[in-house]
Amino acid sequence: MTDCLFCKIASRAIPAALVHEDDQLVAFRDINPQAPTHVLIIPRRHISTLDELEADDDVTVGAMVRLAAAIAREEGFAAAGYRTVFNCNADGGQTVFHIHLHLLGGRPLTWPPG
């Protein structure tokens, strides 16, 4: 989608601190980190919200979750623990309408979230 911030990051039209990229996914550091490590994992293909996921997307979403776990291991906090979050729509706190998995780690995280 031409007018989507995360599509532009995926295509490198807008710079970001990339952590990983492959044919399917891109991972980059959040511009406003909420933990020592705060990475966003996105599919290259534009999907606006979780509400739009279809069965064909299962492989993509599974790969997003496994990439989060791999980055947590690389960043050294997999054993200590971390959080992954998908926000969906307004009440879920979604502000960028291209699905993204937040990976937060490097400090103890409280529960429940706000």
Active site residues: 100
| Helix count and strand count (H, E) for the chain | 3, 5
State the binding partner of 2 from Zn ion, ligand 5GP, none, CB within 5 to 8 A by kind: none
Residue 45 to residues 22, 48, 69, 87, 108, Cα–Cα distance (Å): 12, 10, 21, 18, 33
User: Is 30 a residue that touches ligand 5GP (CB under 6 A)?
Assistant: yes
The rounded distance, in Å, linking the Cα atoms of 93 and 32 is 15
Residue 41 or 56: which CB sits closer to ligand 5GP?
41
The rounded distance, in Å, linking the Cα atoms of 72 and 78 is 5
State the binding partner of 98 from ligand 5GP, Zn ion, none, CB within 5 to 8 A by kind: Zn ion
The rounded distance, in Å, linking the Cα atoms of 45 and 1 is 9
Beta carbon of residue 97, minimum distance to ligand 5GP (angstroms, whole number): 8
Beta carbon of residue 90, minimum distance to ligand 5GP (angstroms, whole number): 10
User: Is 32 a residue that touches ligand 5GP (CB under 6 A)?
Assistant: yes
Q: Are 50 and 86 in contact (CB under 8 A)?
A: yes
User: Is 93 a residue that touches ligand 5GP (CB under 6 A)?
Assistant: yes
The footprint of ligand 5GP (CB under 6 A) covers 5, 16, 28-32, 40, 87, 93-96
